[in-house]
Amino acid sequence: MENTLLNTQELLNDLKDEIISNRRYLHQHPELSFEEKETSSFIETKLIEYGFEQIEHYGKYGLVGRLKGNLPGPTVALRADFDALPIQDQKDTPYKSKVDGKMHACGHDGHTAALLGVSKVLKQVEDQLKGNVLVLFQPAEEKPPGGAKFMIEDGVLDEVDVIFGAHLDTSSPVGTVSVGSGYQMAAADHFKIEIKGQGGHGAYPHQTVDSIVIGTTVVNSLQQIVSRKVNPQQAAVVTVGTFHAGQAFNVIPDSVVIEGTVRTFEEDVQNLVEQEIHAISTGIAQSFGAEATVTYEKGYPSLYNHVNETEIVREAVSEIFGENVRPMKSTMGAEDFAFYLKKTPGSFFKVGARNQDPKTQFPHHHPSFDFDEEALINTGKSFLAILNKYVF
């Protein structure tokens, strides 16, 4: 209903100072993944203050505020994450992190503050709900296996019909919202290759099985997986991030340890790359008379935005932001909201958070990361506009 949408937007605008205050408090008191005890307690205190009578706990430090409408309707979940990163805050602001080596460098403090604002608004209009709303606050998005996995295992989605999440985006101007269906973020896997050769003196390589030569051959060959094994119309990334070997310049080491990441969208490509990493590593090692052991760990799945729900998001936010709603560009970055979308229909969108001030234009995970706090209100307005399509 149009009147309800306008009413909730106005109620949210009235909370702007409080929302910004909550964000700044969280920014000053960051906690790392799976360590967010005080952050979780802060959120719960706020929900109680707002009048929530049903607050449930899931996983480690995850919590949900539940609102039940007077009339039947769908159960809609809105998610915000609240963990920080092991980064030293280099900003010169009054709300700079007070904890050495820890800061909110990805906007999770903003996600939480925005959803808390939405929570307060929803409690004020609870009697108008046609269905149920879950405000879902999740820890540990940054650290695999991620907080979403454990909340789902504890049953957080068991009665949920649809779920939505938002992410602040300093690559897009404040006032814009990016929406897109299909694959939008990649699966993120980790591989480790341990090559065992036979070390010896650097002057007598013929008496060794040189693990470094084998390892570099493996690294070079891994680059051919994407270019020669994966369909050019499908996306994949194979990146080697570490190569550990040796301790002396004149000694050929016994072993090499190589680690890296694989990013894919489709499961068949993911499985193909895993198989090729095994085959290439073991095959090359064997050809040199060495042994290779490959450990492959699948991390967050690829994030697939469901078509119908994404179109509802697009329609909803267009009523607020008009022509400033733009297509979302898919990325090989990862996000554990993907776990929710594998179990429940929904969509994940991005809210522009940069302005002309260079201080708002640093990339995510940068030690000077910050954003235009108007994006907090825009995130909240987006959530309320989506809810207007389902429960009002």
By the 8 A CB rule, do 186 and 333 touch? yes
338 vs 63: CA distance, rounded Å: 18
All structural domains of the chain, each given as residue ranges with its CATH number in brackets, are 2-184+302-388 (3.40.630.10), 187-300 (3.30.70.360)
pLDDT at residue 117 in the model: 98
pLDDT at 172: 98
Residue 365 and residue 206: Cα distance in Å, rounded?
46
Q: 164: helix, coil or strand?
A: strand
User: Which residues are the active-site residues?
Assistant: 83, 141
Judge residue 92's burial from the number of C-beta atoms within 10 Å of its C-beta, 0-12 exposed, 13-18 middle, 19 or more buried: exposed
**Tokens read off for 17:** 């100072």
Q: What is the identity of the amino acid at 146?
A: G
Distances (CA, A) of 243 to 62, 146, 182, 221: 36, 26, 35, 15
CA-CA-CA-CA torsion sign (232, 236, 242, 243): negative
What is the rounded CA–CA span in Å between residue 228 and residue 269?
A: 13
- Residue environment code for 359-377, b if the CB has 16+ CB neighbours within 10 A, otherwise e: ebbbebebebbbbbbbbbb
This prediction has a pTM of 0.94
* Residue 362 to residue 351: CA distance in whole angstroms: 15
Is cis: bond before 205, omega within 30 of 0? no
The Cα 121–Cα 299 span in angstroms is 36
Q: What is the pLDDT of residue 2?
A: 65
Which residues of the chain have a pLDDT value below 50? none
Helix residue spans in 288-327 (DSSP H): 307-321
- The SS3 assignment for 335 reads coil
Give, as one character, the DSSP assignment of residue 88: -
Residue 4: predicted pLDDT: 79
**Residue ranges at the known binding site for Mn(2+):** 106, 108, 142, 167, 365
CA distance 303 to 306: 10
Residues within the annotated binding site? Answer: 106, 108, 142, 167, 365
CA 364, 370, 373, 376 dihedral sign is positive
